[in-house]
Amino acid sequence: MHPSPPLDPGLHSTLRAARRILVLTGAGVSAESGVPTFRGSSGVQPALWEGFDPMQLATPEAFARHPEIVARWYDERRALRLTTQPNAGHHALVELERRLTSVGGEFLLATQNVDRLHHAAGSRNVEELHGSIMVWRCTRCEEEREELGPPFETHPPRCQCGAPRRPGVVWFGEALPEAAIEAATRAAEACDLFMSVGTSSIVFPAAGLIEIARANGARTLEINAEETPISRRVDWSVRGKSGEILPQLLASG
Ligand code: BJW
Ligand code: ZN
């Protein structure tokens, strides 16, 4: 479909009529909070760190070969996250959930983001498909702990059992948390509106949710600063910043 302006009347009536909404978010939603994206244009350069490409650090193999470098990279990102705040896009999604659930509708926010900014904004029904950078897990006893303090003294940090701890994120080749991807899949099957916001739509299985929604008759909306592989397949593709488009959509919907 063609890119549409945000004030497309069909989009507004669909948004008003929708009773089950699934929103899939990606790094673009946090870009306006100052969190670097992995790919695409955010106005913030992708974080290249000591000559390593972020995509090469996000694997179990990288952690096995360079535990100190990978742990420090995640710890720096964790520390940066603690200095950031949700932006207008996060807040608009809280409002969308509030409106829908107040009339008995169903809302699920499936996020690929690991920064917990949706929680910080106040979103309630959130599934973290790729885990969280704020939770670290022992590689042996699997004990998990939320980490909201200053940077660790050693990298990787150690569990009390002596084993190294790793960030509670999902790396390439690892399975997504079963409950999270199952809930997102069920919501994709049942939703009448699927919204893809600030994601490059290339990382699976999250990128496959839109096809499940489409196959089950949902209308589809993408909000992204750039064209993506789904832009020509959705009902409405709105090009722009989520921190601007989402509030506009709600204000006029
Ligand atoms: C704005 C904006 C603004 C900017 N407003 N927009 C099928 C086909 C092909 C491959 C596969 C397949 N199924 C599985 C795979 C393999 C692989 C995969 O998908 N590879 C592809 C890259 C080809 N998938 C996996 O390995 C997954 N695991 C899996 O499938 O396991 C199977 C299994 C089953 C059972 C047992 C064992 C295994 C796991 C994927 C994990 C992804 N992890 C990462 C890292 C997390 C940790 C970390 O943070 O470091 O997750 S990768 C990285 O990409 C991160 C993100 O969540 C994810 C998606 O990125 P996202 O959010 O879309 O961000 P960007 O940067 O790509 O895009 C930003 C977008 O925003 C851009 O479009 C901008 O234009 C836009 N933007 N500013 C609006 N202001
Ligand atoms: Zn342990």
Q: pLDDT tens, 217-238?
A: 999 999 999 999 999 999 999 9
Amino acid at 14: T
Q: Return the ligand 1 atom nearest residue 46 CA.
A: 66
Q: What is the mean pLDDT of the chain?
A: 92
Residue 139 has what pLDDT? Answer: 98
Half-sphere exposure of 146 (CA within 13 A, CB side): 5
Q: Return the ligand 1 atom nearest residue 207 CA.
A: 19
Nearest CA to ligand 1 atom 77: 28
Say how far apart CA 158 and CA 177 lie, in whole Å: 23
Helices (H) and strands (E) in the chain, counts: 10, 9
Those residues with Cβ within 8 angstroms of residue 83's Cβ, 6 or more apart along the chain or in another chain: none
Nearest ligand to the C-alpha atom of residue 144? 2
Ligand 1 binding residues, C-beta < 6 A: 26-28, 31-32, 37-42, 58, 112, 114, 130, 169-175, 198-200, 202-205, 223-226, 228, 241-243
Write the pLDDT tens digit of every residue in 3-54. 445 468 889 999 999 999 999 999 999 999 999 888 765 555 554 455 667 7
Higher pLDDT residue, 49 or 252?
A: 252
CA distances from 220 to 11, 217, 232 (A): 9, 9, 11
- Are 84 and 54 in contact by the 8 Å Cβ rule? The answer is no
Higher pLDDT residue, 202 or 1?
A: 202
Q: Tell the residue number behind the tokens 């509106």, with chain if given.
A: 193
Half-sphere exposure of 57 (CA within 13 A, CB side): 23
The C-alpha R_g of the chain, in whole angstroms, comes to 18
Of the candidates 119, 136, 121, the one whose C-alpha atom is nearest the C-alpha of residue 74 is 136
Write the pLDDT tens digit of every residue in 165-190. 999 999 999 999 999 999 999 999 99
Q: How long a stretch of residues is the chain?
A: 253
Q: What would the mean pLDDT of 124-150 be, rounded to a whole number?
A: 97
Say how far apart CA 42 and CA 30 lie, in whole Å: 9
Distance, CA 47 to ligand 2 centroid (Å)?
30
Distance, CA 137 to ligand 2 centroid (Å)?
8
Write the pLDDT tens digit of every residue in 53-90. 777 889 999 999 999 999 999 999 999 999 999 999 99
Say how far apart CA 141 and CA 207 lie, in whole Å: 32
Q: What would the mean pLDDT of 110-129 be, rounded to a whole number?
A: 98
> Can you read off the two tokens belonging to residue 14?
């669909």
Terminal-to-terminal C-alpha distance of the chain: 21
State the Cα angle at 41 between 35 and 46, rounded to 5°: 50
Active-site annotation, residues? 130
Residue 40 has what pLDDT? Answer: 63
Q: What is the phi/psi pair of residue 229, to 5°?
A: -60, -20
Q: What would the mean pLDDT of 119-144 be, rounded to a whole number?
A: 98
Q: Please report which residue ranges of the chain form alpha helices under DSSP H.
A: 9-17, 28-31, 54-57, 60-65, 67-81, 88-102, 117-121, 178-190, 209-215, 242-252
Distance, CA 112 to ligand 1 centroid (Å)?
7
Say how far apart CA 2 and CA 4 lie, in whole Å: 6
